[in-house]
Amino acid sequence: MTTVTGSNFGDTPVVPAKPDNYLTHGKTISSWLLTLDHKRIGIMYLITALLAFFIGGMLAEVIRTQLLVPQGLVFHGTGSVASSYAAYRYYNQVFTLHGIIMVFLVLIPIIPGALGNFALPLLLGAKDVAFPKLNLISFYLYVAGAVLAIVSTVLGAVDTGWTFYTPFSIQTESYVVVMVLGIFLVGFSSIFTGINFMVTIHKLRPPGMTWFRMPLFLWSIYATSLIQVAATPVVGITFVLLMMERVMGIGIFNPALGGNPVLFQEFFWFYSHPAVYIMILPAMGIVSEIIPVFSRKHIFGYEFIALSSLAIALIGFLVWGHHIFVNGQSAELDAVFSFLTFIVAVPSAIKVWNWLATMYKGAIVLKTPMLYALSFIVLFTIGGLTGVVLGALSEDVVLHDTYFVVGHFHYVMMGGTLIGFIAGLHYWWPKMFGRMYNERIAQWTCVILFIGINLTFFPQLMVGADGMPRRYASYLPMYQPYMIVSTIGAYIQLVAFLSMASYLMHSLFYGKKAPVNPWGAASLDWETSSPPPHDNFETTPSVGDPYDYADLVFDSGINGYVRTEKPADSPIPVTARH
């Protein structure tokens, strides 16, 4: 807490020092690498995860280029079956690495790690997370896991698919053990982050911020952390058992030794289905923050959005069996899992409905974060509803292992998580770096990305419904038109991402100085300067309703919003309340 000392009132003129912020608080490399500041750790997560995203994205472009022609454009044989087989093995490695990198190194850590770390203590009005050292350990565990993934790729890239299904993952000669060890470390990073965030939300809420006055992003992070803490150990031990299979020959998942490969699938999906909610819940939280701000209207159905996050987290634990419908599970169990899968769609639908109701009769401002949030709603709805299609038992039997599944989860992961992340990145960018990006270019980029995503993944739904299997390096010529459109979409996405990278880099150095509150948000993260000082807040901010925009007015002088005293006699405008 700063206090004005007596010397400031003396005769010597006070030289206004350059304001110190967390980016300039220490300039040495070790002040970054060994920092305990949640904001710097968030930035380091951001950089690492974006690097991983770049690699995973380039692999995706290789996949799409391969599928331009039926026999494969990148990897194809010289005519004989044997040469094709040898060439297509590389394709297996490419889509496996794409999957592993995107799931474990990008989608799971990127929102909690980067945006969660940066924004969570700010939203709480706190100085840091509950355990700053554990936070740094989490980051380095994540880096260590990523390094092991690179090592395994250099030694002999894994070709099992990101799911590591046995018995092939026991038999393949690629370096499964190293890769799985890397994912094990990333898993523990995820557990530690979850513990840290849960304790922070429990113990560091400022006086006056009750559970139901928290910003909704905190609710979604809380639900995510719950899954991280409870589900990740299961995949950890599954991967340890897989390592033991390869090293010691335990046999638990190996049918040749009396083991059961479906047991591996049960274990794997017991984590990996809840992991889908680890990916999507924080993105939903970001959208819940953005939509009321850019509708200038109080969030509608706060309690429903908050509790639906918890409902998704809990029901998400009960649906893993829908990945195993056709793998020998009993029909009775199939029916139960199918039913539970329909149930989990309900809380998601509640969220979407409340977002729409928030926008209804609001004064919608189509700034970039809002455009991404709207894209999220469209794309996530397509992804979610195709998920319900797949959850229907009789349809899954037909669509299992086809491109329909690929289209479905890319709509959710790309159109949901990643678009949610990008929305959050644009929303908090002025707070992170104290600079504004070029709004016009950013808006056009969003439109291009939206078109690219739909062009890429909608044809995949169609071609999957036509029967094209996933993970094939070559295909029948009848599918080629869909594949060409899909590949064009992937290139359009590449253009959009390159544009995004360039205008964001440009804004870092040449962007306009960001005001304290450029969007007119009412949550505590916008009470401090942009970028925030090392200690976040000079005094404890006072807690109000995080979605009450009535007393925020636009000041064209600073190009941002300022808080005014609410006149006591004037009623709150009707549109500001639900």
Is 318 a binding residue for another protein by CB under 8 A? The answer is no
Q: Which of 26, 77, 161, 251 binds another protein (CB under 8 A)?
A: 251
CB of 568 to another protein, least distance (A): 25
| CA–CA separation, 22 and 393 (whole Å) | 52
Residue that is written with structure tokens 């923050």 in the block: 289
Cβ contact 95:471 at 8 Å: yes
Is 334 a binding residue for another protein by CB under 8 A? The answer is no
Q: Where are the alpha helices (DSSP H) in 316-367?
A: 331-359
| CA–CA separation, 544 and 208 (whole Å) | 8
For the record, the structure tokens of 186 come out as 């990333």
For the record, the structure tokens of 120 come out as 């969570």
Instruction: Tell me the number of residues near another protein by CB under 8 A.
Output: 55
Q: Which of residues 467-486 bind another protein (CB under 8 A)?
A: none
- Answer left, alpha or beta for residue 61, where phi above 0 means left and psi between -120 and 50 means alpha: alpha
Q: For another protein, give the closer residue by CB, 4 or 14.
A: 4
Q: Assign 535 to helix, strand or coil.
A: coil
Q: For another protein, give the closer residue by CB, 153 or 196.
A: 196
Is 258 a binding residue for another protein by CB under 8 A? The answer is yes
Q: Which of 69, 73, 250, 336 binds another protein (CB under 8 A)?
A: 250
CB of 523 to another protein, least distance (A): 19
Measured in whole angstroms, the distance separating CA 95 from the mean position of its chain's CA atoms is: 20
Q: For another protein, give the closer residue by CB, 256 or 326.
A: 256
| CA–CA separation, 414 and 101 (whole Å) | 14
For 450-510, give the DSSP string: HHHHHHHHHHHHHHHHTTPBTT-SS--GGGHHHHHHHHHHHHHHHHHHHHHHHHHHHHHHH
Is 10 a binding residue for another protein by CB under 8 A? The answer is no
Half-sphere exposure (Cβ direction) of 478: Cα atoms closer than 13 Å: 6
Residue that is written with structure tokens 């429903």 in the block: 304
| CA–CA separation, 347 and 309 (whole Å) | 7
Is 195 a binding residue for another protein by CB under 8 A? The answer is yes
Binding window for another protein (CB under 8 A); candidates: 241-249, 374-382, 449-457, 462-470: 241-249
Is 558 a binding residue for another protein by CB under 8 A? The answer is no
Q: For another protein, give the closer residue by CB, 77 or 206.
A: 206
Q: For another protein, give the closer residue by CB, 234 or 449.
A: 234
155: number of Cβ within 10 Å = 12
Q: For another protein, give the closer residue by CB, 203 or 566.
A: 203
Cβ contact 452:490 at 8 Å: yes
Binding mask 506-545 for another protein (x = CB under 8 A): ----------------------------xx----x-----
Q: Which of 259, 285, 415, 515 binds another protein (CB under 8 A)?
A: 259
| CA–CA separation, 324 and 331 (whole Å) | 11
Q: Assign 330 to helix, strand or coil.
A: coil
Binding mask 262-301 for another protein (x = CB under 8 A): -x---x--x-------------------------------
Is 244 a binding residue for another protein by CB under 8 A? The answer is yes
Is 257 a binding residue for another protein by CB under 8 A? The answer is yes
Distances (CA, A) of 274 to 83, 277, 462, 481: 40, 5, 27, 35
Is 222 a binding residue for another protein by CB under 8 A? The answer is no
CB of 534 to another protein, least distance (A): 8
Is 84 a binding residue for another protein by CB under 8 A? The answer is no
Q: For another protein, give the closer residue by CB, 139 or 376.
A: 139
* Contacting residues toward another protein, per CB under 8 A: 1, 3-6, 36-37, 126-128, 130-132, 134, 170, 191, 194-196, 198-199, 202-204, 206-207, 229-234, 236-238, 240-241, 244, 248-252, 254, 256-260, 263, 267, 270, 534-535, 540
